[in-house]
Amino acid sequence: MLEVRPTCENCNKSLPYNSEDAMICTFECTYCKDCVELLKQVCPNCGGGFEKRPIRPTHLLEKYPVSKTIVHKPIDIKAHIKKLNS
């Protein structure tokens, strides 16, 4: 089951369970669409791509609550792009 993390790891933007803006990689690193574009669609943690995070249905939130843990690790975008281009 997905954690459904509450914020973007880079900019800390709120990404609630029903956000259309949340993107995740295969390891569930979570970013907003704007940051994913800045990252050129490549996860800075694993090097994988991103997909839209599914929305957890409201009727399942009580039985399967979403994560409240904030993972905020701002990325050096210039260094990330340089690494992609090398």
pLDDT confidence of 64, banded at 50, 70, 90? Answer: very high
All residues at 6 or more sequence positions from 27 whose CB lies less than 8 Å from its CB, including other chains:
43, 45, 46, 48
pLDDT confidence of 10, banded at 50, 70, 90? Answer: very high
For residues 1 and 45, give the distance between their C-alpha atoms in angstroms, rounded to a whole number.
21
pLDDT confidence of 63, banded at 50, 70, 90? Answer: very high
Buried b / exposed e along 29-66 (16+ C-beta atoms within 10 A) = bbbbbebbebbeebbbeeeeebeebeebeeeeeeeeeb
- pLDDT score recorded for residue 50: 98
- pLDDT score recorded for residue 79: 97
